[in-house]
Amino acid sequence: MASSAQVHSASLVFGPEPVRQSGAYAVIGDRSGRVLLVRTDSGRCYLPGGRIEPGEDARAALAREIEEECGCSAVVEARLGKARQRIMEGSVELDTTYWRARLGEPQCESGEHELMWVTSAEALDLLHRPGDRAVVMSALRNGLESVA
């Protein structure tokens, strides 16, 4: 009687566990169906937003980050979804909450990053993080203009 052997493989990861952080990011659209991205000095593109500081709630963190990055106040509207993703070469595990938001009044002459209004197809090509691409794809399915 022949027996079959099963081989189970496991991936081994050596090194420290990733640091857990939380972040809030926004899909900001305009009436033309374009989406707002920020480009950092490294040339990478992201949705506006950033990390949530200890004691800060997600909406407040997102409004603060948009003001810092874009130079405008923000109206944070509805939560769109969540994602968990590894960033910074796997050293950080980011629990991300995505929101629909719109820009408010200018608060300073310019923000920290270059602002780019791009088509949704361009956004999918330019966005660095998979979670950001996924939320833009979802917004497309549900009508990106509805986030304006």
The reported pLDDT for the residue numbered 9 is 46
Domain that holds residue 82: 19-118
Dihedral class, residue 22 (left if φ above 0, else alpha if ψ from -120 to 50, else beta)? beta
Assigned domain for 3 exists: no
The reported pLDDT for the residue numbered 47 is 95
Assigned domain for 53 exists: yes
Q: How many independent structural domains does the chain possess? A: 1
Q: Is 82 helix (H, G, I), strand (E, B) or coil?
A: strand
Assigned domain for 136 exists: no
Assigned domain for 37 exists: yes
What CATH number does the domain containing 64 carry? 3.90.79.10
Q: Which residues of the chain have pLDDT under 70?
A: 1-15, 110, 143-148
Assigned domain for 146 exists: no
Assigned domain for 133 exists: no
Q: To the nearest 5 percent, what fractions of the chain are helix, strand and coil?
A: 25, 40, 35
Q: How far apart are the first and last CA of the chain?
A: 68
Assigned domain for 125 exists: no
The reported pLDDT for the residue numbered 91 is 82
